[in-house]
A and B are shown apart, each in its own frame.
Chain A
Amino acid sequence: VRPAAFAVALALSLAPLALERFGLLELAGAPRVGLALLPWLALAGLPRPASRELDAGAAWLAPLAALPLVALAAAVDRAAPGPAGSGAVWTAAVGLALVALLALAAARGARVFAAAWFALVCAPTALATAFSLSASGGDDALGGGAGPAVVGAWFGAWLGATPLVWAARTIAGGADDRGLGPLAPIGVAALLAAIALVEAAGARRAERAA
C-alpha cells in the first residue's frame, strides 16, 4: 500500500463525517458507515506486486486504519433514526471483516488473485455504477438502480455480491433488502482470500522445487 493511496483513502473516508460536522454536507439518512468503508474496501483489495514473504504491515494497515473511523461512523449512525441506526454496528462489523479479508487476500495473492479481484470486485462495481446511472438518469449513483429488475437475476446477484457495491448500497439504504445481504460479499471476499492463499502456497511449492 503506497503512502499516497493510504492518504487518499484516509481523506475520502474521513471527508463525509468532517464535512457534515462543519455543515458543508447534509447526509440526512445516508449511513456514514458505508461512506467510511468504501475507500478502505477499495484500498484493501487493490492487487499489489507479488512479494516472496507476507508483508504483515501491508496486510493489516487498511483494517486497522479503518477501525476507528468505522466505529465513529457507527456511533453517529446508531444515534440516527430508522433502519440505518438499528443496523449500524452490524454493518460496521461486516464491513471491517470484508476489509480484513480483502487486505489479507491482496497481501498474499499475485496474478491469479488480481484477475479474480478484477472479475469479482472491480468489473462488477464499474458495471453497477454504469447501470445505476443509466437507470436513474444520473440521480442515484450506485443506489438502487443496478438490481435484478434492470439486468437479470444472475447478473444482478453477481453485481450485488461485490463488497464495494454492498457498501454503496448501504449508503443508498437498501443493502439488507435484497438477495443474501452481507453473506454474498463475505462469500466473495472469502473466495478471494482462498484464491490468494492457494496461489501463495503454490508459489512456495514452486520455489522449493526449484
Chain B
Amino acid sequence: MSAALALARRLPLGALVVVGLFGAAAHAQGPNRLWLGRVELEGPLERVELDCGDAGATAIEAALVAGERRELVVPLPWAPPLGVEGLARHAPPLVRVAPEGGGGRARWLGVVAGEAGSQPDERWARLPVGVRVRPRPPAGAEATGGGASVGALLVVLAAQIAIAGLVRRGRARLAISALVAVGGGAAAFALAARALSHRGAPTVLIDADLPAAGPPTVLRVTAATTELGLPRREASLRVETRPEGARLEFTVDPATDRWTLRGPGEVLVFESAPSDAAGAALAPAWWRDAAGAWSGFAALERERPGELGRRPAAPPLPPGEAVEPPGWLRAGLPPGRTALLGRLAGEEAWLRATGVPAPGGQAPGEPGPERD
C-alpha cells in the first residue's frame, strides 16, 4: 500500500492537465452541414418542416393558397458520414405540414443530384486541401484578442497571491482571504462579462490563396452566433457548426427566396468570393515574407481596389510600434510562402492571403521575364 501511495503522490497530474488542454485545443473542423434537396409543395400551406432528426430541421415559410403548387430546392443540415458518396442512401427527412389536415401537401423528391458540383460539398472538395484545412475564424470579439481581459486576469492573480499569503495566518485572516476570494471572483466575473458582452457578432474573413501557377482561390468565411443569411446560394460551399455536430435550423422563405440558418453555438458559412473581394485598403496590415520575417503596417492601400496580385508598396512600421496580428489570423500559415494579413479598412472583415508576391515581384499569372 505504501508503494501505491507513493506512486499516487508522484503521478504527473500536471501532465494530464496539459494533455487535456491540447486535446481540447485541437478541435476538428467537422462535416459539411449544407446539403440540397428538392420538395414539392401543394397549397393551402403556411409552413412545412423537414425534420432531419438530431442534425436539425429546415422550415419552409410557404404561404401557398389552395391549388398552388411549387417545387423548391432547399438546404438540409445533414451530416452524412460518407459525404456525397452516401447521400443517395441517406434517410429522407420527416415532412410535416401546417396546417395539418388543411388539404395541403408536401412531398420529398430526393437530394439534388445529376450534374457534377450540384451539391455544395462537391464544389468544396475541388478546392486546394491547404485552403480547406486552414484555421477557422472565431465569431465576435475573439477576432481582436480572445477570452478574458488583461485587467480581469490581473485581478485574479492579485487575489490568488493575497489568498496564499493570508490563508495560513489564523482564523481572522482566513475570513479576510474568503472575502478577498469572493470579491476577486465577483470583480473578475464582472470585468470579463462587461468586456465580452458584444461577443458573437459576425466575423468575416476573406481567405485567399494565390498559387504560383493557376487561378487564385478566394473564400468568404463568416462566423457568427447570431442568425446568418445565405445571400449567394450558388456561391455557398460549406456550413460548419461549433461545437461540431450541433443542431442546425435552416429557414427558407420562398417569397423572397431567402435562406437563413441558426445554431445553438457558432455557425460558419463558407462561400466562394470574387478575386476583387479583398477591399481597397488594409488597416492595419501585416506581411510575412517567404523566410518567415514579419512586418507591420499602419495601412496598405492598393492602386486598384480588391487587387490581390501583389502586396502594395509601403514602408513598414518600426518594430517597436507594430502590433501583433491576431493569433487566429496568423495561425496555420503554410511555411515558406508569403502571407498578407489585415483588416479591411471601412469594413467589418479581415484578409488572410497566402502566396501574394512582394512589391515589384511577379504576380501570379503574369508572364515571366523573356529568355533567349
Query: Which residues does A use to contact B, with CB under 8 Å?
Result: 3, 6, 8, 10, 12, 14-18, 20-30, 32, 35, 38-39, 42, 46-47, 56-58, 60-61, 64-65, 67-76, 78-85, 111, 114-115, 117-118, 122, 125-126, 129, 139-143, 164, 168, 171-173
- Bound together, the chains give a CA A129 to CA B328 distance in angstroms of 29
| CA–CA, A83 and B241, complex, Å | 13
Chain B residues within 8 Å of chain A by Cβ, number: 74
Q: Are B189 and A61 in contact (CB under 8 A)?
A: no
Q: What 1/0 flags go to B1-42 for Cβ under 8 Å of A?
A: 100110011010110111111111111000000000000000
**B171 / chain A contacts, CB cutoff of 8 Å:** 56
The residues of A that contact B199 with a CB separation of less than 8 Å are 79-80
Q: How far is the CB of A32 from chain B (nearest CB, A)?
A: 7
Q: Mark B157-185, 1 if CB is under 8 A from A, else 0.
A: 10110011001110100100110111011
Given contacts A10-B160, A17-B147, A82-B265, contact A28 B20 (CB under 8 A): no
**Is A64 within 8 A of B24, CB to CB?**
no
Q: Which residues in A have their C-beta under 8 angstroms from that of B191?
A: 75
> Which chain B residues border A171 with CB–CB below 8 Å?
20-21, 23-24
Q: A65 to B21, Cβ gap below 8 A?
A: no
A21 and B160 form a contact (CB under 8 A) = no
A71:B4 contact, CB within 8 angstroms:
no
What is the CB-to-nearest-CB distance from B297 to chain A, in angstroms, rounded to a whole number? Answer: 19
User: Does residue B145 face the partner (Cβ distance < 8 Å to A)?
Assistant: yes
Q: Is the CB of A122 within 8 A of B8?
A: yes
| Residues of B contacting A: mostly | helix
- Structural contact, B328 and A115, CB atoms closer than 8 A: no
C-alpha gap A6/B135 in the complex (Å): 35
Let me know if A115 and B146 touch, CB within 8 A.
no
CA gap between A25 and B225 in the complex, in Å? 21
Contacts of A14 in B (CB 8 A): 153, 156-157, 160
Contact pick for B160, options A26, A65, A74, CB 8 Å: A65
Question: Roughly how many angstroms separate A49 CA and B19 CA in the complex, as a whole number?
Answer: 29
Which residue in chain A gives the minimum CB-CB distance to B173? Answer: A57
CA distance in complex: A15, B174 (Å): 26
Other-chain contact of B189, A74, A140, A172 (Cβ < 8 Å):
A74
A141 cross-chain contacts in B, Cβ below 8 A = 19-20, 22-23
Bound Cα distance A152, B4 (Å): 25
* Contact B188–A23 (Cβ < 8 Å): no
* A23 close to B177 (CB less than 8 A): no
Least CB distance, B19 to chain A, in whole angstroms:
4
Residues from chain B with Cβ under 8 Å of A38 in the complex? 16-17, 20
From known contacts A17-B148, A20-B146, A143-B23, infer whether A70 and B17 are also in contact, taking CB-CB under 8 Å: no
A/B interface sample: 26 pairs, CB < 8 A: A3-B164, A14-B153, A18-B153, A20-B148, A21-B149, A21-B153, A28-B25, A29-B243, A30-B25, A46-B9, A58-B168, A60-B177, A60-B178, A61-B163, A64-B177, A69-B160, A69-B188, A75-B152, A79-B193, A79-B197, A80-B199, A81-B263, A83-B265, A115-B1, A139-B26, A143-B23
Q: Which chain B residues (350-367) contact chain A, with CB distance < 8 Å?
A: none
Whether B164 contacts A6 by the Cβ 8 Å rule is yes
Query: Could you say which residues of chain A place their CB within 8 Å of the CB of B113?
Result: none
Name B330's closest neighbour in chain A (CB-CB).
A23
User: Chain A: which residue is nearest B186 at the CB level?
Assistant: A71
When the two chains form their complex, are residues A35 and B26 in contact, meaning their CB atoms are under 8 A apart?
no
The CA of A80 and the CA of B146, in the complex, are separated in Å by 11
Closest beta carbon of chain B to A13's beta carbon, Å? 8
Complex formed: what's the CA distance from A28 to B17 in Å? 17
Q: A42-B13, A70-B185, A75-B189 are in contact. Are A27 and B25 (CB under 8 A)?
A: yes
